[in-house]
Chains A and B, each alone.
Chain A
Amino acid sequence: MSTVLRDARGQLLVLAGLAALLATVPFWLEGSARTVMIRIIISAGVGVGWNVMGGFAGQFSFGHAAYFGIGAYSSAYLLVDHGISPWIGMAVGAVLAAAFGALTGWLSFRYRLRGAYFALATFAFAEMLRLVVQGQEWLNGTQGLQVPVLAESSWWMLQFSTTSPNYFLVGLGLLVVLQAITILLFHGRRGMFIVAVREDEEGAEASGVDATAHKVMAVAVSGAMTAVMGTFFVQVFFFIDPALAFGPAESVAILLPAVVGGTGTLWGPIVGAAILIPLGEWTSKIVRDPPPFLDFVAGRSGIDLMVFATLLILILLFLPKGVYGSLAERFRR
């Protein structure tokens, strides 16, 4: 259950406290565990971005890979072909994603696509980008782009040694910025209008709110936020290709944290990511390296996904408004 919350300062304080706590993580966590933490950060970041459109604005997106991919490819292309800093690429990606979101969003709303049809349209736009990028030689087609490894660490080029805590800290910083934007937006006038339009479009218009403009605004902001994490992803993993960037799997991965945590709630996507990523890690580890009494599952790929999906279904069965959404509602009174 979402509402337009009144106390922005309180939420920002919670965020600051959480950030301070998490900032210590790379100093006591190393290796693959730290990589898992970075993946949680990325998942939370894209989830926070998706939630602006899919949760608060109530426009379910099944194609957020479009924005993630735009962010990833913008910075990767500028870096690989022109040696331009990923920070600039990140800004370019965010602007392009916002423009793409505004255009496709406006077209979809203009032609009154709703519900499943709207979701399908977002899916189609992402697939369209995937196919277009596959065919572009200057983007290296289906091969994708590889970030060149530098001789030494550089904040400006957003590249560090593999043992450096900086990747985690940069990701955390970006997540904090995205979450702070969400908190401020939905404690303000514009965010309130966006939620009102979700709740009842006709009622909102009769209250003097331009429904289409606020829906388009939500899509653009959401797209830009997701694109930022796309750039960060490329810098962490050094590689991007069309399927990874624009594929349906990515779209699903982006919507899951908010759905599992609670759509339209401030903390849902972050809670969702903190559950999903470790859960996925754990299920695949069980199959890779099972305890003695589960010997028979060893090496059978697919079982981990079945277990993962079953657990997801169970979570949503018992907490239909997401883990954070349902619990927050239960403890409100």
Chain B
Amino acid sequence: MSLLEVTHLSKSFSGLRAVDDVDFQVEAGEIVGLIGPNGAGKTTLFNLVAGRIPVDTGRVVFDGEDITGWTPHAIARRGIGRTFQLMRPFASMTVRDNVTVAAASSSPRLETARELADAVLDRVALAGMADEFAGALPTAARKRLELARALALDPQLLLLDEVLSGLTPAEREPLLELLVEIADEGRALLLVEHVMAAVMRLSQRILVLHHGQLLAAGTPDEVTSDPDVIEAYLGEEEQLAGS
């Protein structure tokens, strides 16, 4: 049985099928890239899995448990951590407290949570900024804070929405190494990413979403040579050129 099993998942917004009958699985410890042109439904898919928006039809089974219709905080505590593309730090709280919130949500003792938060901050190389206000952090540090907050949940699955975008290549490299390390601990990573080189290098498997449907799935090599995928991306470029 897979860690995450998504079956026949659909969601419409006023008639538009944002996610259309999508099936996929993620295994424990696997890194899966979720790509697709803008508006393909990637973030909607994340929001469905994380319980942020209710599903129309279909099921989300996590670690053998049907979590369809669960609230976001219950899903987070069950073991799915997520980051947001538009980062959502607790701006007036310190970096340490930001991470402590996530650690404390499933730990009744605040001191234990603080210790866990410090350990996580150390991992993402934010320990030196622990006492800064989160709102004052530069973008690269905020991205790592998002990751730290998700990691503090001790999740089995991480949904990472564009953690690499907006970073310089020099900032990207250590983060990539960290992601591999996290997966080596047996945590699964599902990442939405626009930085194609990184996602192809990192992922064992790629899912391609187009107009809300799963267009292709396979290894990076299989997917990049798939004619449907090439057409979908070329189509987008033509649209961009025309607009």
Contacts and interface: CB of A to CB of B under 8 A. Distances in A.
Interface in A154-210: 188-189, 192-193, 195-196, 199-200, 202-210
B84 A189 contact: no
B4 interface: no
Contact of A206 (B84, B94, B133): B84
Interface string B111-124: 00100000000000
Q: By CB atoms of chain B within 10 A, which of A2, A188, A196, A211 has the most?
A: A196
Nearest to A208: B105
* Chain A interface extent, by class: 20 to 34
Given A3-B133, A199-B92, A200-B89, A207 B97 contact: no
A196 B113 CA distance: 15
Contacts of B72: 202, 205-206
B104 A192 contact: yes
A4 B93 contact: yes
Nearest to B76: A208
A211 B104 CA distance: 14
A27 to B, nearest CB: 40
A1 interface: yes
Contacts of A205: 52, 71-73, 76
Contacts of A204: 73, 90, 101
A209 B133 contact: no
Nearest to B100: A192
A200 B135 CA distance: 12
Contacts of A209: 73, 101, 105
A207 B93 contact: no
Interface string A315-328: 00000000000000
A189 B133 contact: no
B110 A203 contact: no
Interface in B45-60: 50, 52
Interface in B64-102: 71-73, 76-77, 81-82, 84, 88-94, 97-98, 100-102
A188 B113 CA distance: 11
B102 A199 contact: no
B93 A3 contact: yes
| B contact patch SS | mixed
B153 A199 contact: no
B159 to A, nearest CB: 9
Nearest to A195: B93
B153 A207 contact: yes
Given A193-B101, A207-B105, A208-B102, A199 B93 contact: yes
Interface in B105-145: 105-106, 108, 110, 113, 133
Give the interface centre of B77, B89, B91, B101 by most chain A CB atoms within 10 Å: B101
A196 B90 contact: yes
B133 to A, nearest CB: 7
A200 to B, nearest CB: 4
Given A206-B82, A208-B76, A200 B97 contact: no
Contact of A192 (B97, B106, B108): B97
A209 B52 CA distance: 13
Contacts of B77: 208
Given A188-B110, A202-B88, A206-B72, A196 B50 contact: no
Contact of A4 (B88, B97, B106, B108): B97
Contact of B150 (A2, A3, A206, A211): A206
Given A200-B89, A203-B88, A207-B149, A189 B73 contact: no
22 contacts: A4-B94, A4-B97, A189-B110, A189-B113, A192-B97, A192-B100, A196-B90, A196-B98, A196-B101, A200-B88, A200-B91, A203-B149, A204-B73, A204-B90, A205-B71, A206-B50, A206-B149, A207-B76, A207-B105, A208-B76, A208-B102, A209-B73
Given A3-B93, A193-B101, A209-B101, 5 more contacts: A4-B93, A4-B94, A199-B89, A203-B88, A208-B153
